[in-house]
Amino acid sequence: MGVTLRVYGDLRQVLGWSSKEVEAGRNLEETLKKVPALWESIVQYRLDSLIILLNGNNVMLSGGLEVSVKNGDVVDIFPPSAGG
């Protein structure tokens, strides 16, 4: 069992998947970079415009991309939504 990456909104259409499992890296950034298309999308959206949750907790409140991850963790990535 690896780290489950789940994407929402426009990211699903851009990447062509909603969930993917990868082996944990040293930290969240290293783990996300294991899926190059996902990492490129994160860079394009700008990190500060995304909501990234690790096991339900906002990573920007607990170490950002340097936060440790382990196999079995779940990462949810929400792009900015179009409001009106």
For residue 74, what are the contacts with CB-CB under 8 A and spacing of at least 6?
A: 3, 4, 6, 54, 55, 56
Give dist(CA 39, CA 65) in Å, integer. 12
Q: Domain containing 9 — which CATH number?
A: 3.10.20.30
When divided into structural domains, the chain yields a total of: 1
CB 22 within 8 Å of CB 34: yes
Strand 74-78 with 57-58, pairing: unpaired
| Domain of residue 66, residue span | 3-78
Residue 11 backbone zone (phi > 0: left; psi -120 to 50: alpha; other: beta): alpha
Question: How many percent of the chain have pLDDT more than 90?
Answer: 83
pTM of the model: 0.92
Q: What's the pLDDT at 80?
A: 84
83 domain residue, yes or no: no
